Amino acid sequence: MITEDDLDLFGYYEIYEPKPHEKPSLYSLWVEKKIITAGQARLIENILGLVGEAGEVAEKIKKQIRDSQKVSDEDIMKELGDVVFYATALANFYGRDLSYVLEMNVHKLDDREARNKIKGEGDNR
Binding site for Mg ion (CB under 5 A): 53, 56, 79, 82
Nearer to Mg ion, 4 or 56 (CB): 56
Nearer to Mg ion, 4 or 75 (CB): 75
Q: At its nearest, how many Å lie between Mg ion and the CB of residue 91? A: 19
Q: At its nearest, how many Å lie between Mg ion and the CB of residue 84? A: 11
Gap between the Cα atoms of 8 and 16, Å rounded: 11
* Helix extents (H) in 16-97: 24-34, 39-66, 73-93
Q: At its nearest, how many Å lie between Mg ion and the CB of residue 57? A: 8
SS3 102: helix
Nearer to Mg ion, 29 or 76 (CB): 76
Per the CB < 8 A criterion, the answer to whether 90 and 29 are in contact is: no
